[in-house]
Amino acid sequence: MAELENKNVSAKAEKPQKAKKNADGKPGFFRRIANWFKGLKSEFKKITWASRKSTFKNFGIVLTIVVISAVVIGLVDIGLGAFFNFLLDVIDITPTV
């Protein structure tokens, strides 16, 4: 009798615990959400984050390019506006706005 009990105990100890599954073989809804968050956490551990110094350097580069682009687009807009107003004055067509 004791051998039979030891055999049952050792058989239970050897079985790995599996997640509960539905009739269709999939884990439950909340189990899938929990597994997704566990995977997300492990993926975040794999990320190599940029240093503070390089982040500020890249931010400065991007900010400079944005300001230069804004100035260029503004100058082109002013120049084209003046050019078309000059053309309208030359051919005596007044815009009807």
Q: Amino acid identity, residue 70?
A: A
Rounded Cα distance between 53 and 44, Å, is: 21
Four-CA torsion 23, 25, 31, 36, nearest 10 degrees = -150
pLDDT for res 28: 86
Q: What is the pLDDT of residue 40?
A: 94
Per-residue pLDDT tens over the stretch 14-69: 555 655 666 677 888 899 999 999 999 999 999 998 999 999 999 999 999 999 99
CB 20 within 8 A of CB 27: yes
